[in-house]
A and B are shown apart, each in its own frame.
Chain A
Amino acid sequence: MKRLSNPFLYLLVLICVSFVFLASFGEILWGFSSVGERHWAEKMFFGVCHQLPDRTYIIEGAMMAVNTRCFGVFLGMLAGWVLIPFAGSYAEGRRWPVTFLLLAIVLQIVDYLGNLVELWHNTNHSRALLGALFGIALSVSVSDLFIKRKT
C-alpha cells in the first residue's frame, strides 16, 4: 500500500461514493415512504436511472431506488475506490486502467444492444455484474493520480 497524494480528496470522494451506494438501496435500507409519496432515494436517482420495477432488486416488497445495472455501477465504484491505495501502484504510468474503462463501457453498450435486438436476454444479476465491472473500472482509471510519486 502506497501513501496517497490527495488524501483529503480521496476521503471526500469516498464519502460521496458511499453516500450514493447507501442511498441506492432505497426502501430496502431506508424504509417505505408515506402512501402516495415517492421515496426520497428514488427522487435522487430519477435523473440518472429509469427505475423500472422489473429491473430492480426487490426484497420482501421493498424496492431499491435504482435498477440492477446502476446498483452494480455504484457498488463497483465504491469497491474500486476502496482499492485505490492498493491498485494505484499497479496502475502508475500504465495504460491498462483506461483500456479497462473503455472495455467496460463497450461491454455495457454491447450487452444493452444485444438485449434490445433480442440476440440474448440479460438478467438482473448479469446487468448488476457488468455494471459493477464498469464501476470498478471508473474508480481504478484515476487510481494512479492518487499515488505519491517518487522524486
Chain B
Amino acid sequence: MEQDEQTTGSSSDSISFGDMLPSAGVVGLIFSIITFAIGLAVGYQQIGSEPSGAIFSPTMLSGTVICLISLLGGTLAVWHFVKEVNPYIKLGQGAALGFITGAIMVILTAVYGEIWNFIDPEYTDKLVEATIANVEAMDLPDAQRQTMVDSMASTVRQQSSFLSQVLWGIPITGILNLLSGMVGVKIFAKKEDQETF
C-alpha cells in the first residue's frame, strides 16, 4: 500500500514549494494570530494598569511566551504536512518548510500590526508611555533605568514599523523555525526506506 503511494506521487521527490505553502500558511496564520493577540492583550493590560515597577512586566512575560510559540511553528508545520499532504518528507524539505513558516508568521504579524494602527492609531504611543512609566517606577540606578527606558521604548516603536519588522524579523525567526522544522521531520516523518508489515 505504502509502496503504491510512493509510486503514485507520494514520494518526497515530488514535493514542491506549492505543496508546502498550505501547511506553512495554516500554521503561520494560526500562530501569528495567537502571538499577535497575546501581544495586543498584554499591551492593553499594561496601558490600563498602574506602573508597578516589576521587572517581570506583562510585556516581558508575553515576549517569552511568544518566543516559545514562534519556535514551535516549524515543527507543527511539518506535523501538518506529514498528516495532510505527504508522510515522506526529507530533512531539507522540512528545514525549508520551517523557514517558510517562520517567514509567514513574521509577515502576517506585521500585517496585523499595520491593520491595528488604523483601528487604534494611538496604541503604540500609549504602550511606549506605559512601558516607560513602569521602568521609571523600578528601583534601579539612574543610568541603568535610562538604558532600559531607551531600549524598551525603541523595541515597542520598532514593532509598529512594518518594513522593519519584516526585514529584520525573517532571518532569525526563519532560521530558528528551520531548525524546529528538522526536529519535526525527526519526530513525525516516515522514512522512505522504512518497511511496514
**Looking at chain A, what size class is its interface with the partner chain?**
35 or more
B17 within 8 Å of A (CB atoms)? no
B169 within 8 Å of A (CB atoms)? yes
Q: Give the complex CA separation of A50 and B182 in angstroms.
A: 26
Cβ 8 A contact of A47, one of B169, B182, B183:
B169
State whether A6 touches B172 (Cβ < 8 A).
no
Contacts of B159 in A (CB 8 A): 46
Cβ 8 A contact of A20, one of B151, B172, B183:
B172
Residue of B nearest to A47 (CB): B169
Q: Give the complex CA separation of A42 and B144 in angstroms.
A: 17
Q: Distance (Å) between the CB of A40 and the closest chain B CB?
A: 8
Q: Distance (Å) between the CB of B185 and the closest chain A CB?
A: 7
Q: Distance (Å) between the CB of A61 and the closest chain B CB?
A: 10
A79 within 8 Å of B (CB atoms)? no
Contacts of A141 in B (CB 8 A): 183, 186
Q: Distance (Å) between the CB of B179 and the closest chain A CB?
A: 6
Total B residues in contact with A, Cβ cutoff 8 Å: 42
B52 within 8 Å of A (CB atoms)? no
A86 within 8 Å of B (CB atoms)? no
Q: Give the complex CA separation of A19 and B64 in angstroms.
A: 22
State the main secondary structure of chain B at its contact with A. helix
Contacts of A44 in B (CB 8 A): 168-169, 171-172
Q: Give the complex CA separation of A147 and B173 in angstroms.
A: 27
State whether A116 touches B183 (Cβ < 8 A).
no
Stretch at the interface among B55-63, B79-87, B117-125: B55-63
A22 within 8 Å of B (CB atoms)? no
* Chain B interfacial positions (CB closer than 8 Å to A): 55-56, 59-60, 63-64, 66-67, 70-71, 91-92, 95, 106, 109, 140, 144, 147-148, 151, 154-155, 158-159, 164-165, 168-169, 171-173, 175-176, 178-180, 182-183, 185-187, 193
10 A-B pairs (CB sep. < 8 Å): A6-B92, A13-B95, A43-B164, A43-B168, A46-B158, A47-B66, A48-B70, A50-B63, A142-B182, A142-B186
* Chain A interfacial positions (CB closer than 8 Å to B): 6, 9, 13, 16-17, 19-20, 23, 38, 40, 42-54, 77, 98, 101, 112, 116, 138-139, 141-142, 144-146, 149
